[in-house]
Every structure is written in C-alpha cells, then in structure tokens.
Amino acid sequence: MKKLRVAVLFGGRSAEHEVSLVSAASIINALDPNHYEPVLIGITHNGRWIVHEKALQMLQQGKIETNISAFPAADPTVRSILLLDYTAADIFAGEMEIDVIFPVLHGTYGEDGTMQGLFELMDIPYVGAGVLGSAVGMDKVIQKQLFAFHRLPVVQFLSFTKNDEPQKAPDKLAEIEARLGYPMFIKPANLGSSIGVTKAIGTDELKKAIGVAFEYDRKIIIEKSVENAREIEISVLGSDELRASVPGEVKPTREFYDYQAKYEDTSSLLNIPANLPENMKKNAQQLAIKAVKAIDCSGMARVDFLLTGDQLYVSEVNTIPGFTKISMYPKLWEASGLSYSQLLDELIRLAMEKHQQKKQLKTHATKITDWYKNN
C-alpha cells in the first residue's frame, strides 16, 4: 500500500514558535512509519519555509543550513511545493508532492485561518479547522459574541479598538469599572499563551494593562474575573459529528495560568480526568460541542472553561492546541480510549474525508442557457 505523505508544518512566525517545535517533535515521532511518510517543513521566525529532513533540528538550534526555500503553490493545478535556490544559476531545485498537511503551528499565521486559506488555494487536504473556524477561534471577542448568541454561558466582557483609547478617557474607564467591577482580565483579542494578559485590581493597573494589550493587538477584550476559578478543559474531535473527551483540569501554581505557568514554571498540574460530579461532566461535554459548532470549527479543538461553584463559563476554543506527549489535548483523548497515534490517524482521516466531501460539491452554477432548457 502506498504510504501517505504527510507534510508536518512547524515553527512559524508567532510567539508560540518554540512550543510548536515541541508539539511537532512528538507528532513526527508518533506517525506510524508503516502508513505515513512524514515530510518535515519548518517555518522560521521570519517566515521562510525549509523542507529538509533536519528542519526540526535546524529550527531548534536556530541555524538554517540550506539555500533551498520551499514555496507552496497557490495554484491548484500544481498541487505541490516548489523548491527554489536563489543562489544557484538554475533557481528551480525541484518540487515536493504531498498528500495531506498537518499544521502544528500555534497562534498567529498558523492557527488563525491565514495558513488554512493557503491550503484551500493549494487544494490539499489539511488537518484541523477551516478558514472561518480558525479565524474565529483566534478572536476572543468574536467567539464570545457567537457563544453569547448561542446562549452559552460566558463571563461579562467589553471590547475596544485602538481608536477608542479607553485608557485615556476617564469616563470610559469609569464605565468599564461600573459595568465589570474589579478584578478584571485585560487581553489582546487575537493572541494565545497568555501573552499580553493582565489581571487588574484598580484604575492605575487597568490603564496600564489596556496599554500593554494594545501593544499586541488593535483590539482588546476586558473581562470580569471569575475569582478562584477552576480551569476545566475538554478535547473535541470530528467533523460533522463531534465527540467530546473526558474533562481535565489545569491547576496553575501561580496567580493565574500565565505565560510563566504555561512554559517556564511547569509545576502546574493536569488532573485527568477532572474531579467533577457526573452531571457537570456531561454538561461540560455538551457545552464543548456546542461551542465548537457555534464557531463552525471542525477537526480538532480544545475548549477551555472557567468553573466557580457549579457555574461553568465557556472561556475559549483553541483550534491547534498544544500537542506534545504531555499536553492536555492528546492526554484527554488517551484517557477517553484513543491513544496518541490513533488520534493522529483519526485527524488525518478526517482531513482526507473533508477534502473529499468538498470535492463533490458543485462549484459552478448551472449555465443559464441549460437552466432555461430544463425549466
């Protein structure tokens, strides 16, 4: 049987570049060599694509030792990746055909729909959410608005763009304080890994936090804090039919699950499965599936909740969650009966199936002359 050539994309231009390398290493290791032929594609911090069997080591060491860059062809009649060497007399250095793309890119230019748009143009099957689900999954404001529209429980929030300059307008600050009350969480709308996220307990802090969040994005979200919240997460898998894993719980050992807690001080604990009453588990699983549907997401997603008392709030959906062997997304599936490599099989199968289904859709309206003949 012909092996499936899987292009694993990692690194990328986001602040989560390093995390992506760790996720990708686990995935490449676990792809069954009897069924798959992995093609390693590393994307550098500045966006250069490297197709090389040592691409992962090169990115880990920050030393790119090849003149060849890869150029994905947005032309669907090509359906491959061109290899070019600008330093050679003949810049054409070959091409690489691939069957399916596995983007392991967290954050901007990877998880946010931009990359997915490129895959659509290339007409190659890819793992995970499509353009819309990815873009909405990245935007904390739009997704919360959609959750609210679908009557999913969300914390009270307000959103501002750079032009609003709420940090400079005392009346706006007073309104935020009156409507949300302290403590509050201030975050850039489109980022992850808790970058630019601050918890504020007074006006001065609020002003500063707004300034910080605007350094990362033109749009910010300010949320009421759910105090002493438990952080519950559920993995979702599937396309039209979605499955939810058992819930897990993150126990940060810091004030909140900030960047340090996530990647530097790794003493935060994962409790799998989370210790929750049976009815709350079921409720969380149903909410997770509804949240994924609300943003038209498919493939994979990790849905994060904040829990206080018996009130669950849907916090956010991550469409390319951390994927190392010890990450919550695959760990939750393991606890639900799907091993790490079975999970990869299933994600790749879903990617192929979705692409097939799309192929069968009509792309042109009936010619108007034919329409008149038949009607």
Site residues (vs ligand ADP, CB under 6 A): 155, 185, 187, 192-194, 197, 223, 225-226, 229, 231, 256-257, 304, 306, 315-316
Q: How far is the CB of 54 from ligand ADP (least distance, A)?
A: 32
Which of 115, 108, 147, 143 is CA-nearest to residue 131?
Answer: 115
Beta-strand ranges (E) seen in 116-183 are 157-161
Q: Which residue number, 187 or 219, has a Cβ lying nearer to ligand ADP? A: 187
Active-site residue among 217, 223, 316, 346? 316
What residue number has its CB nearest to ligand ADP? 257
How long a stretch of residues is the chain? 375
Q: Are 126 and 102 in contact (CB under 8 A)?
A: yes
Q: Are 109 and 115 in contact (CB under 8 A)?
A: yes
Mark whether 65 is an active-site residue: no
Q: How far is the CB of 344 from ligand ADP (least distance, A)?
A: 24
Beta-strand ranges (E) seen in 117-274 are 157-161, 184-188, 198-200, 219-224, 230-238, 242-244, 248-251, 269-271
Q: Which residue number, 70 or 155, has a Cβ lying nearer to ligand ADP? A: 155
Task: Count Cβ atoms below 10 Å from residue 352 Cβ, excluding itself.
Answer: 15
Query: In which residue are the tokens 């793309």 written?
Result: 101
Q: Which residue number, 231 or 346, has a Cβ lying nearer to ligand ADP? A: 231
Chain centre to alpha carbon of residue 171: 36
Q: How far is the CB of 269 from ligand ADP (least distance, A)?
A: 14
Mark whether 271 is an active-site residue: no
Sorted by sequence, the CB contacts under 8 Å of residue 170 that are 6+ apart come out as: none
Q: Which residue number, 36 or 329, has a Cβ lying nearer to ligand ADP? A: 329
Active-site residue among 11, 137, 196, 322? 322
Active-site residue among 130, 304, 329, 340? 304
Q: What are phi and psi of 373, to 5 degrees?
A: -60, -40
Chain centre to alpha carbon of residue 116: 11
- Tell me the CB-side half-sphere exposure of residue 233, using CA atoms within 13 A: 25
Active-site residue among 111, 217, 249, 302? 302
Q: How far is the CB of 66 from ligand ADP (least distance, A)?
A: 34
Q: What is the DSSP letter of 295?
A: T
Mark whether 318 is an active-site residue: yes
Q: Which residue number, 193 or 285, has a Cβ lying nearer to ligand ADP? A: 193
Active-site residue among 318, 327, 329, 346? 318
Mark whether 258 is an active-site residue: no
Q: How far is the CB of 224 from ligand ADP (least distance, A)?
A: 6
Q: How far is the CB of 175 from ligand ADP (least distance, A)?
A: 18
- Look up residue 223 and give its two tokens: 């949320």
Mark whether 171 is an active-site residue: no
Q: Which residue number, 14 or 69, has a Cβ lying nearer to ligand ADP? A: 14
Active-site residue among 159, 211, 263, 271? 263
Mark whether 322 is an active-site residue: yes
- Look up residue 38 and give its two tokens: 């992995």
Distance (Å) of CA 164 to CA 72, 169, 176: 39, 9, 13
Mark whether 302 is an active-site residue: yes
Mark whether 177 is an active-site residue: no
| Residues taking part in catalysis | 16, 193, 263, 302, 304, 316, 318, 322
